[in-house]
Structure 1
Amino acid sequence: MSIKKKVTSAIAVGLAAAMTMSLAACGGNDTVADVEDNGELITVDVFDSLANYQGEQKGWFAKLIKDKFNIKLNIIAPNVAGGGTTLFDTRSAAGNLGDLIIYGYDNGQGERLVKANLLADMTPYLDGMDNIKKYQSAIDSMNETIGQESGVWGVPGSVSSRPPTDPSEGLEPTFGPYLRWDYYKAVGYPEISTLEDLIPVLKQMQDKARETEGSNDIYAMSLFKDWDGNMMNNAKQPTCFYGWDELGFVLAKADGSDYESITDEGGIYDRVIKFFNAAYRAGIVDPESTTQNYDTMNSKYKEGKILFSFWPWLGQAAYNTVENKEAGKGFMIAPLKDQKIFSYGAHPNGERQFIGIGSKCKYKQRLVKFIDWLYSPEGIYCSGAQTGGAAGPQGLNWELKDGEPVLTEFGSTVLNGGSANVPDEWGGGSYSDGVSALNYPTVVVNDIDPDTGYSFNASMWPSELEKANNYALNKDWSEFMGGYSTTMEYLEANNMIDVAPGASYVTPNEDSKITTLRGSIKTEIVNASWQASFAESEAECDKIMATMRDTVKGLGIDEVLDVDMKNAKDQQAAREQIVKDYAAEHGSDE
């Protein structure tokens, strides 16, 4: 997550200069014409800003696409190669970024790629490409952002057929107060009315865990610094429990009803810093929080050393193994009475990444067919097949029984974190080694497969929900929480979720002066947030935050806030517009 963003940002720094060099090298529109395609095996260079693997695609996915398209994928991944700017500059200066390009189109990047003739217009190759054509509105939205009145320069990713007012998440939200349910049960399920009420509850849980396991290195909470940006990243997370999300130095409510500066005295961010400080003074915060990185912290979750998680994809992914769930152990969402959790709405127009064809590609028609397949039900299942994602290949991972999809024994193993070798007829080798290295979500996996009527995500199938609800952990959580079978069912039934409609809003490029001011201001905010969180008294915490507010005022934060506040309100306008557009196209936003 953070690595991907940092590398993409690094590439973007040198993008304008690279575009200039590329234009000089290309000498205008020099899109290469297709050679006669005799169907021979070809190696496809994929410049992929999302990939976490570099080299040739291996295993079952490689065999699948070779059998279908007679292609091999060679992944070029700035995330892995390091020096992402240099890699991008070198290839773009030569006028050939790759045969396939997976990249972001926001912040002017898509527009510059088109102007530099690094992308080919796919329009001449779309006859019969019905899967791509289904997402014409998403393509139109991308064109508007990149300043193109016509053409198909790419197909956006993470598109959804669901209304923008529907949560994009599956069984769990993106954010939420997740705690070790077994120790919450062990201390008698105490009531948690507000965020601040978590502190005495977590203290009881920590004491119980240390007593039970005979270990004093168990802590309720653990923090890390390596995702900090405009603010202390960890401090932003509990604001999402109350419907807020960030844009620059502004926190905005999902429904557009309120906006705050993160420096507001008595604001939601200030409240979280005080919460952290109270937790620290209660002795329930890991003392290594100020020096460890995410990976170090994550290992502690796997070892059962931490009892509270800001996200389900941290605590549950690390600790909720089948063995632990059968034993009644694991992370589940807390019954925080005043929570109203921020949820990202489904994106009918996709998000800010796209897949396109490089201008120097010689086999454009074949690769457009490949892209079209990626957006087909089979392609969605197979390219999104990883733990917590799409179900994978039919016939290997799942099958239809009485018209309903069910996992095979093999599929159940590999989709629940287990390891297994793929049968030879599917390509052999380790299943995990054969997962698509593109790491590119074409369609949100929680969407419905039109061929089966069920989600692409196996965890949402009735057969899998029945299994999950039989685990001792899930049973106990469900009984205590009123009989709800999933977190999202509980949150929606109790009006505890606040959906920000899924609009493809792109923050405009900011003036260099604002960028310079932001750099010095965010350093002050982040440093003060950490110091205040670990202050030895409430008074010292308040003093540190007050000093920070005076400092950033002098540094010109008001000028930056004017920009961020306008962007936040423009984002809200885009959210409201996508709801209207969807209703106009479909007759309703329901």
Structure 2
Amino acid sequence: MKTAIKTRTLTSVLLTFMITLTACSGSTSSQTGTGSQAGTKDANGIVTLRVLVNETGTNWNTYPDSEIAKELADKIGVKIEYVEADANKMNVLLAGGDLPDIVRADPNQYGKQLIDGNLIIPMDDLMDKYGQDIEQTIPTVVDYSRTNWSEGQNKLYFLPPQIQADPSPVYPNVTIGPTMRWDYYKEVGTPAINSTDDLLNVLQQISTKHPTTDEGKKIYGVSMWQDWGLWPYIIPFTWITQQTASGGSDLMAKPLGENRLLNVLTDDTSNYWVAMDFYNKAYRMGLLDPDALTMKNNDYMAKATAGQFILGPATWAMGDFNAKYAKDNKGYMVLPIGKQAWSGGVRPIGWSDKSYAISKSSKYPEKAMEFLNYIHSYEGARTMYSGIKGKDWTVENGKPQLNKDTIAAKVNGGDAWERTGIALDQNLIGLGGSVIDPSNDTPVNLFSTEEAMAQSSTTLEKDFSKHYGATYPGEVFSKLVQEGKLTDENTPLKSLTQDEIVKQNTVVLPVLTDDLLKLETQLKELAARTAATMILSKTDEDFAANKQKAIDSFKQAGADKLTQYISTEYAKALQNAGVK
């Protein structure tokens, strides 16, 4: 039985998440609780907390009166309102210093600016009175935050969401990977896809059959958005490269099962170059959305919801299409193709890039702390994942059980389901869904058991699962991993002893120096500009010439310097940990 996040496993994802602290600092707020951006209190004493999120395209504000929102108000006297911000808006708000009550941001990127600029407050004193559940559920994350995210002050400034120290005992439904209209894929006979060229050929077959939506809108084979940095070029192609971002910089990648790092810009086997080749071929085949190189996430999501794409990078990236049509056996599923399934793995320090901090501008820091405590509690996490006790689930023979009506509502989907607010935005929830509540030895997300996943599968998910001889989508991938036909993050660990796994988990890299951070930023900006030239190449010869020119420009800009530093430090960390 696990009552808290384990210290030993806490280090297992540091290699991925250790990104440098930014050197810039913001202006200060004159005194606590004077911000015009901060929340308000209504006549009933309910406090609306405004949360600055460094992302766009969320749907939390769409349902301000959801059942979960009302439960938050009833339970802790709080309502939540998102303030969405892309990178530019985020920087403007931080520079101004007048912030919403809670800031959700990467402490490695914004920590120095927020702390040195006196824009956020330490939570330590508030924790004593309002953070008892946090101390119980994630004590080692609290310790880690004080040590690593406080600019040397050893104070608690940041709390990440989605903390999950141990792997799920049940294989989850995969959400990131080649995400295709399943009904279209079945229509063309579910042909084998073992390469990106195979994938493009399938997109072409489908595109010929489905040039427009039922409403007459143009359907494109593939698209992307441009306000998440290099995300569309680095993340979606793990299924074929078996590489994940790693090494203290998101320009470095680690091949699965290998103790080496590669620079995604200068190594032509990387995700970045696989993406360049794929999107260029899609462009020349007429499959690429012409807005792909300028579109923002909000616009992408609108097109996805309208069914204008055949392929996407993740189920959550396809807007509300599945919510509307999955009951009619129409929608998007991650295909079990290529080499690797991205199952999510463990997250001992959660999604650190979305960590919560309490703004000095907040007029209600105590309420902000109560909210953070609630979402990191077993009770709060279960409510947000599974619904309200007595209404959406009940306790039978000492075990929480979802009600049939709740399962049916999820299966039917659509606006009615989203209006419940259940698991509406998992970025918001403090604990991972497979965290075990020790009071009843069940996961906080009641939908994450094998029985619940089978029962709550939509018509679309059932059809997908049946095609591959499984009862729910996660089982499709689980069987293929067990048969050795696919790998996942845990595959390399199977050949290691427990002692070797422990050693692997102690490999920690230092953050980048300020100079290297600036260099990394410059390289990412150069890579984003280069992408358009690569993708719009007219011929194979043009692409090859542009590719060599781009790699030369990356090296001239200092890419090898970044690679040498991180690779050297990685080798030292391996040696210090006793990893061969």
- The question of a shared fold, defined as TM-score above 0.5 by the shorter chain, is answered with yes
Most deviating of 545-554 and 283-292: 283-292
Q: The residue matched to 2:537 in structure 1 has which SS? A: coil
8 Å contact 2:159–2:357 — kept in the other structure?
Answer: yes
Shift, 1:568, TM fit: 6.7
The match for 2:499 is none
Of 543, 546, 554, the match for 1:544: 546
CA distance in 2, matches of 1:507, 1:412: 48
Shift, 1:108, TM fit: 6.8
Under a length normalisation based on structure 2, what TM-score does the superposition of the two structures give? Answer: 0.72
The match for 2:401 is 405
Shift, 1:141, TM fit: 0.9
> Deviation string for 1:193-232 (max 9, x for gaps)?
22322122222222233499796932322233333x3x47
The match for 2:530 is 528
1:391-540 alignment, distance < 5 Å: 391-400=386-395, 403-407=399-403, 409=405, 412-413=408-409, 417-420=413-416, 431-432=420-421, 440-462=428-450, 464-469=452-457, 471=459, 473-483=460-470, 485-487=472-474, 488-495=477-484, 496-499=486-489, 508=511, 510-512=513-515, 514-540=516-542
Q: The residue matched to 2:443 in structure 1 has which SS? A: coil
The match for 1:582 is none
The match for 1:329 is 330
CA distance in 2, matches of 1:358, 1:298: 30
Of 287, 292, 297, the match for 2:295: 292
8 Å contact 2:26–2:117 — kept in the other structure?
Answer: no
The match for 2:320 is 318
Are 2:147 and 1:158 aligned? Answer: no
> Deviation string for 1:407-428 (max 9, x for gaps)?
4536753786444599xxxxxx
Shift, 1:184, TM fit: 1.8
The match for 1:253 is 255
> Deviation string for 1:115-151 (max 9, x for gaps)?
9495245358637965222221111111110255766
CA distance in 2, matches of 1:103, 1:448: 27
Q: The residue matched to 1:341 in structure 2 has which SS? A: coil
Shift, 1:541, TM fit: 0.9
CA distance in 1, matches of 2:340, 2:120: 44
CA distance in 1, matches of 2:327, 2:260: 43
Shift, 1:180, TM fit: 1.8
1:90-169 alignment, distance < 5 Å: 104-107=106-109, 109=111, 113=115, 116=118, 118-120=120-122, 122=124, 126=128, 130-134=132-136, 135-145=138-148, 146=150, 152=156, 155-160=159-164, 162-163=165-166, 166=167
The match for 2:220 is 219
Of 61, 81, 85, the match for 1:79: 85
The match for 2:3 is none
The match for 2:174 is 173
Q: The residue matched to 1:499 in structure 2 has which SS? A: coil
CA distance in 1, matches of 2:101, 2:328: 50
Shift, 1:406, TM fit: 1.6
8 Å contact 1:75–1:438 — kept in the other structure?
Answer: no
> Deviation string for 1:490-528 (max 9, x for gaps)?
45334424328999979735424x455445543443333
> Deviation string for 1:432-484 (max 9, x for gaps)?
5x99999632111233333444433343245543334572x334423432436
Most deviating of 282-291 and 167-176: 167-176
Shift, 1:545, TM fit: 0.7
Q: The residue matched to 1:309 in structure 2 has which SS? A: strand
8 Å contact 1:413–1:419 — kept in the other structure?
Answer: no
8 Å contact 2:174–2:343 — kept in the other structure?
Answer: yes
Most deviating of 108-117 and 515-524: 108-117
Under a length normalisation based on structure 1, what TM-score does the superposition of the two structures give? Answer: 0.71
Residue type of the partner of 1:293?
A: K
Q: Unpaired runs of 5+ in structure 1?
A: 1-11, 30-39, 423-429, 580-590
Residue type of the partner of 1:242?
A: T
The match for 1:558 is 560
> Deviation string for 1:166-200 (max 9, x for gaps)?
26997333421122222222222222222322122
Shift, 1:261, TM fit: 2.0
Shift, 1:532, TM fit: 2.2
CA distance in 2, matches of 1:470, 1:91: 46
CA distance in 1, matches of 2:232, 2:170: 21
Residue type of the partner of 2:350?
A: G
Shift, 1:84, TM fit: 4.4
CA distance in 1, matches of 2:170, 2:573: 20
The match for 2:241 is 242
CA distance in 1, matches of 2:328, 2:135: 48
Are 2:197 and 1:201 aligned? Answer: no
1:371-410 alignment, distance < 5 Å: 371-382=372-383, 385=384, 390-400=385-395, 403-407=399-403, 409=405
The match for 2:345 is 345
Q: Unpaired runs of 5+ in structure 2?
A: 1-20, 33-42, 491-503
8 Å contact 1:410–1:420 — kept in the other structure?
Answer: no
CA distance in 1, matches of 2:414, 2:408: 8
Q: Given the superposition, is the C-alpha separation of residues 190 and 64 from structure 1 closer, same or farther in structure 2, using an over 3 Å criterion?
A: closer
Q: Given the superposition, is the C-alpha separation of residues 467 and 510 from structure 1 closer, same or farther in structure 2, using an over 3 Å criterion?
A: same
Q: Given the superposition, is the C-alpha separation of residues 257 and 279 from structure 1 closer, same or farther in structure 2, using an over 3 Å criterion?
A: farther
8 Å contact 2:179–2:335 — kept in the other structure?
Answer: yes
CA distance in 1, matches of 2:220, 2:258: 36
8 Å contact 2:222–2:289 — kept in the other structure?
Answer: yes
Residue type of the partner of 1:393?
A: I
CA distance in 1, matches of 2:430, 2:186: 40
Q: Given the superposition, is the C-alpha separation of residues 506 and 354 from structure 1 closer, same or farther in structure 2, using an over 3 Å criterion?
A: farther
Shift, 1:158, TM fit: 2.3
Shift, 1:533, TM fit: 2.2
Q: Given the superposition, is the C-alpha separation of residues 369 and 186 from structure 1 closer, same or farther in structure 2, using an over 3 Å criterion?
A: closer
CA distance in 2, matches of 1:437, 1:205: 32
Residue type of the partner of 1:311?
A: A
CA RMSD of aligned residues (A): 4.8
